[in-house]
A and B are shown apart, each in its own frame.
Chain A
Amino acid sequence: MKRKLLRQIVLGSLLAFFCYSCNLEFFDNAEFQENFTWNPSLAIPVGEITYTVSELFQELNDPNVAIVSNSENVVTLLFVEELEAQRASEFLTVDSQGFEGNVNSGIDTPNSPVATVLNVSESFQYDLTLSGQERLDSILFSGGNFTVELSTTIDPNVDFTLTIPSLVNKTTGLPLVVTGSLTQASPTFNSDDLLSDYKGVFTDDGSGGVTSNSVIVELEYEIFVEVGDNLNASDEVRFDVSFTDPEFDRIFGNVGNDELDLSSQTVELDFFSSFENGTIRFADPQFSFRFENSFGFPMGVDFQNVTARNSDGVELALSGPVTEAVQIIDAPTVEQIGQSVRSEIVLNTDNSNIDDLMSHKPIEMTFDVSAITNPPTGPSQYNFLGVDDFLDVDIEVEIPLDIGLDELSAEQTMNFDNGSDLEEVKSLMLRLIVDNGIPMGGTVEMVFRNGSTPVYTITDRPLFSAAPVDGNGRVTENVQTVTDVLLDEDAINAMENATSILVIATVSTTGVGSGQEVKLFSDYEMNIRVAMQADLSISSNGN
């Protein structure tokens, strides 16, 4: 009985304990949140990129600028622009022209008592009509027509011979001769011939001398006088000789001192359009004008109208010795007909202010270059000109990065479409570790923009320090700069709406404050490592 009571007490106590102590409120009306959020903070290496000097400047993204190394292994910006070429047809044309004259019979024979034959002849000399000061010795015609018209006021029959010694048949080597008869019933005569069968020789002055531009026409005719014919001394035979639309293969002689407007061309330099404030000094820029000339005469080039215009619209003209005298373009000699001769005129700091032009940060340059043929200071040589002859001009701008940069700012706009990637980022510390072996340091500002509206700005801050250089201008050691960019939640929310980033880099070279310029050698590198520490909020439902 006692044990039974004990058992009942124990069981009752346990039941009472469980009833009293049972508290399951924790489970009341509670379920799992459907959206689980994980909030880790991860420090991860993002990656790295190494820039050589060449690659850095290629980022400025002017496709026309080539980045090369010169013989000194200094990185060099190379820009080649071809100016408009000059063709022979643009330089010299021979216009249509005519030569006319008349030859009187010179005899009065009224009611001729006898039948007789009278001979009359005369030689004429004309000058070619040309546009300039050309003095042509000969022309190899390639097109056009040669026409002859004769008419007479002489009643008796006339047989004529018109000889033009200035037109020589290319095949026979004989001068052009036109013969025919004029009668009362048919007092006119016309003939037409192709000029391309002839060459013009214009050196005969008609009196045995040698000259140029001279066209000789000889007219000779016979008058067949019959009994009873009337012949007046003033009766005449007229001729009209014409070159119609003449074309040529080549001319010889002297083209005189004509002026050629070689080119008036504006070249855009996008490379410099990235630069804004600050100064840039190039120690040894060089412009090489390369002329390829197959015209058979030398030319003198005038560089007085070369100007550089910067983004503010300020123009600076090329000046210096190179602009004070014409620069000679050589020409092929007669023995080199069909060939071209290359001439190079170099504009450098010895003969011009080209360094100032480049330091002007030009966004465009205008080359209004003219030339004069057979310049007085040039070689004296026999001239010729072929229809296919040309004068090609190109400019090679060579800018070795032997430079001084002083707070020079450059801007680049990059597309930004990673805003959605930031949705799970609550805050971010972006670490940039720059190991710089280039004697150029700088700061960077980044403006995140939606369209043109800034939504967040990472203020200007040092990003990389300039490496020191020794007495030989070589970098002695790399300089490491660690930059942490802290972006809080507000900043990240703003950046999510950005569509582009305006990157503004302001750079200075080592020693620029003391007027030092540094050479950027091709083996210089800048290594950038990117790491980040991100406080994430990763939701199970992806939001």
Chain B
Amino acid sequence: MKRLILLSIFVLTLVTNVNAQGNFSFYQLREIVPQASNLQPAFIPQNSFSLGLPGLGGVGVTFQGDFELGDLLYKPNGFGDYTVDFDVLLAATNPTNFMNLDVTANLLHLGIRNKLGAFSLFANARVKMDFHYDDDLMEFLANGNSNRIGGAISFDETMIRLNSFHEIGIGYAKTFLNERLTVGARVKMVTGLFHASTAEGATGSIATDADDFTWTVNIQNGTVNTAGLDLLLNESDYPDNALQDYLISNDNSSMAFDIGAKFDILKTLTVEASVMDIGSITWKETMVNYNTADTTAIISGVQLRGLENSDEVLEDSVTAKFRSNETNMSFKTTLAKRTYAAISYRPSKDDRFSFTAYNNHVFGRFEPTYAVSYNRKAGQFTFGVIGSFRGRNNNTNIGFNMAANLGPFQLYLATDNMMVLNKPELRSKADIRFGINLMFGYKKWRNPERVVNLDEL
């Protein structure tokens, strides 16, 4: 159990300040791996037929944060057992911080390429958690409000969004302009499963009076919307199989889109762009809204005369200043769009240098991260290295990717940070993406001179 906790903290630790990691390394597998179309719909697989098997087609897990593991799992004096030290965490905190978790399980990917273009049928299960906070939150956790006497601690920048959903859709990509331009789009039905988020515009702050330490607590739009969680937390309140039925089908369904394009400016120079997850979910089932009315509360202590049961009196005096309730109103949340933009230079037919930018548009933020990469193809084998810049002080991460077609089987593996196994306490990011596909018809879409004799490999 402790290992599980350690692993969980390790995972969470690696999920913090640049706005989500971009699967840069996996992106560079491009047309080779069909599931790369989850990042750029304009990628057209090089096979006539490809099949990502359920459970094997690909699993991607990305954890990213601004804390290094050693910041959270702190070892006093560098040795001994772990503890959590908010002072250490505060020292590692930036003015604004992100924590991200992105888990994508490819349940099915069926790709067909013909003269009309590339068609795909896909199903993914996804979990995405984004947590944004600023140094005020960590300041409060580490030092309370004592360092802000006469000032305020703002929680305005503290936002969280947890989305769990599955998506089922079809994609189509086609080339134009003598194959210089490729345009792709995917339409998908998104079914929301679990959700928790602070309401848009939710703000909160605690101001401490310089003289008598009176707290002025301001809460605006203080709502946390949830869906599906009640099924997990209060399972006994629901009929048997309710959770199972809910996971298969529910009313939290909507349509979403992915679009992308790539254009060969020169024979050796290509630009690409994609926007993923355009759409929203209207949560209509198993919603619970936890609301606190807009309040500016002055907390100045209690009347000390005849004070008995001071803890209860204090609690009552504080809670009485806030009006909270629970409702079951439907609400709408946009999917967190992901945007890729890339420019690639191909000095030869097997070598590619790329510069890629990625932005996770959660919470309306535009704070892209960047990567440079090199990939080389060697027949049915491709590999690449990538350097991405993220985190405080623009930490540099070195990643790699590789894919190999072994007969009808394709194996692929990509990570943005292969250094994570070397002193993981110094790392703040971990991701991996891997899978096995069945690939057929590879030779049909290659120039004869580029067809590789597998026997030579």
Contacts and interface: CB of A to CB of B under 8 A. Distances in A.
Q: Do A and B bind each other?
A: yes
Interface residues of B, number: 55
A530 interface: yes
Contact of B212 (A25, A32, A433): A433
B2 interface: yes
Interface stretch (A42-50, A116-124, A234-242, A463-471): A42-50
A333 B84 CA distance: 94
A43 B213 contact: yes
Interface string A421-449: 00000000001010000000000000000
A49 B82 contact: no
Contacts of B2: 31-32
A22 B421 contact: yes
Interface stretch (A2-10, A78-86, A364-372): A2-10
Interface of A: 1, 3-4, 6-7, 10, 14, 17-18, 21-27, 30-33, 36-49, 431, 433, 482, 528-533, 535-536
B95 interface: no
Interface string B61-76: 0000000011001010
A3 B380 CA distance: 9
A18 B303 contact: no
B144 interface: yes
A48 B419 contact: no
B149 interface: yes
A31 B9 CA distance: 12
A45 B424 contact: no
A329 B19 CA distance: 98
B212 A47 contact: no
Interface string B1-23: 01001100000000000000000
Contacts of A18: 418, 421
A196 B379 CA distance: 146
B104 interface: no
A30 B81 contact: yes
Contacts of A37: 83
Interface in B402-433: 402, 404, 418-419, 421-425
A536 B146 CA distance: 11
B146 A533 contact: yes
26 contacts: A3-B379, A6-B378, A7-B457, A10-B383, A10-B402, A30-B75, A30-B80, A31-B81, A32-B2, A32-B81, A32-B82, A40-B143, A41-B143, A42-B146, A44-B301, A46-B301, A46-B302, A47-B307, A48-B303, A49-B304, A433-B211, A482-B211, A529-B212, A529-B300, A531-B212, A531-B214
B288 to A, nearest CB: 29
B215 interface: yes
Given A21-B422, A41-B147, 7 more contacts: A26-B423, A30-B81, A33-B80, A40-B140, A43-B146, A43-B208, A47-B307
Contacts of A431: 212-213
Interface in B111-133: none
A38 B145 CA distance: 14
Contact of A24 (B86, B87, B421): B421
B144 A42 contact: yes
Contacts of A482: 211
A6 B404 CA distance: 13
Interface in B194-250: 208-209, 211-215
A433 B214 CA distance: 12
Contacts of B425: 26
Contacts of B87: 39
**Which residue of B70, B86, B301 has the most chain A CB atoms within 10 A of its CB atom?**
B301
Contacts of A529: 212, 300-301
A98 B140 CA distance: 102
A41 to B, nearest CB: 4
Contacts of A17: 418
B349 interface: no
